[in-house]
Amino acid sequence: MNRSLKLGTSLVAAMLLSSAAYAESYGPYPITEKSYSGDKTNSVSYSGQVARNVMIDSLKKLAGKANGGANAEELKATMMLYFARANKEDLAIVSHEGKDGFPIKQTMVNEISSSSNLVGKTYGGLVPGYPGSKTGAEVVEHMIHHAAMSDGGVDYDLGYDYGQLIQKFLIGAVSYNQIVDNYLDEKMTAGNKPNNKPYSDGAAYTGKEHSWDEGFGYFGAPAHALDLDANQAYGISKKKELAAGDANGDGTIDLKSEMTFGNAYYAADADKSGTDYLHTITSAFIEGRKVITSADGAALTDAQLSQVQALAATIEDEMTKVLAEATFKYAGSVYKDIEKIRADKANIDDKVYRDYIKHWGELKGFAMALQTGRENLGGTAVRLNRLIGYGPPTKDESVVTGIDADGNFVKEGKMSWNTYQLNMLKVQDLLLKEFGLEARKNDGTENLAALVKELDTDSGGAETD
């Protein structure tokens, strides 16, 4: 009796310990699709989404190769392939190249997936934050056109960092939009992609399983994200943390399951300030997948559907907050950059100005990304777009006001550094109120808070007259 008690206790303890040490991964999950006759044993598949995340990041890298016009045509053609390839062209993974001490398994996009492109999955609505009444795809094409003609992806005169603008916008317009407005939205209703049918003929997964997996793929977290803390998840993307990223221990990072991309990367970035977006979202994905798997290839019951929809709602809320946190963070960066610029307006430091344009690109890209969700942000979007404008104040305080009939940027406005810096505070204020942010990186009121603490006026406390 005593012995079996000891044994039992040790077993329970060992189980608890191992579950603490190895949190649940997203997959593998068994095959429940009854019509499948192949020899696969894992129904999880989201390589097309990983390929898209890779192409989004590659576009940023490519924009940097612009050399002031000489290679414009060629570069534009290349960038357009990453955005809208139609014939399975194999493309180099320029965004995630391995290096000494951080080998990466794949070097070509087709090693991940050959059939996917971005254009077909880009937000189809109008993008009000961008001049010229363009759809998401038209915005990207317009930016690619100008990026290819720029110098290193940056137009100092207009204040645009195209690489940042394109990448940040697509994190929303493709990845976020596909999750919240497609795979976890209409595809999680009873009639759409039912669980008692394969996603497509002959597939190893059901309609619901694959829709959910695609959502997770777009999110961009490593499958073992729950095992990682924010710094590790973030570090993988920075080509650090090989040990943490290499879940299967084969010594390389498999982009298909061990890399942190886009939305997940910014969730981890926020989490470094104490939030828990990455784990909350990943857990919701895992829970939802388990509900779907538990249906064992039958149509989801109403109860299962509402469970899955509730988890989808959590994912949407948290992902939206992550984009808002990123917008908040870069509004704060721009605020701080302008602080430095204003210290000596007549002689703006090149490095400061370069950082400012980069940060503005990130801010603008995320602000537009935030508006590609399922819900129309209404007045919040209008205010956000007006505060941020079509472009930042450039060296002589002139700003882009629109585009002409030929698609060229028109820069006819003026905006003082002072006013624009104040606008950044208002952007942060707006985001804070609308989305209830918690990470609040680069808060523009940091200096005030520091001043209050520095003055450290005697808090009164226990004395009186």
Give the CA-trace dihedral at 265, 270, 272, 278, to 10 degrees: -60
Strand 409-410 with 402-403, pairing: antiparallel
| Angle, helix 302-343 to helix 277-294, in steps of 10 degrees | 160
17 residue type, one letter: L
The C-alpha atoms of residue 199 and residue 214 are separated, in whole angstroms, by 11
Q: Which helix (H) or strand (E) holds 368?
A: helix 350-369
461 binds another protein (CB under 8 A): yes
By CB under 8 A, how many residues form the interface with another protein? 25
Q: How far is the CB of 342 from another protein (least distance, A)?
A: 9
Does 346 sit near another protein (CB under 8 A)?
A: no
DSSP letter, residue 415: -
Residue 260 per-residue DSSP state: -
Nearer to another protein, 4 or 459 (CB): 459
Based on the shown chain and the rule CB under 8 A, indicate whether residue 352 belongs to the binding site for another protein.
Answer: no
- Is the dihedral angle over the CA atoms 371, 373, 377, 378 positive or is it negative? positive
Distance CA 41, CA 272 (A): 36
Binding map of another protein across residues 200-239, x = CB under 8 A, - = no contact: ----------------------------------------
Quote the least distance from Cβ 248 to another protein, whole Å.
Answer: 46
Instruction: Please give the Cα distance from 409 to 405 (Å, whole number).
Output: 10
Site string for another protein, 305-344 (x = CB under 8 A): ----------------------------------x-----
Among 30, 35, 418, 436, binds another protein (CB under 8 A): 418
Nearest approach in angstroms of CB 228 to another protein is: 31
CB 416 to another protein: min, Å: 10
Cα–Cα distances in angstroms (integers) from residue 412 to residues 25, 142, 394, 409, 435, in the given order: 53, 20, 12, 10, 33
User: Going by DSSP bridges, is the β-strand pair 409-410/154-155 parallel, antiparallel, or unpaired?
Assistant: unpaired
Please state the closest distance from residue 444 (CB atom) to another protein, in A. Answer: 9
- Within positions 440 to 459, which residues make up the interface with another protein, using CB under 8 A? 445, 447-449, 451-453, 455-459
Examine residue 460 and tell whether it contacts another protein (CB under 8 A): yes
What's the rounded Cα separation, in Å, for the pair 121 and 175?
8
Residue selected from 64, 196, 422, 438 as contacting another protein according to rule CB under 8 A: 422
Q: Which is nearer to another protein, 350 or 456 (CB)?
A: 456
List interacting residues with another protein (CB under 8 A).
Answer: 339, 418, 421-422, 425-426, 429, 445, 447-449, 451-453, 455-465
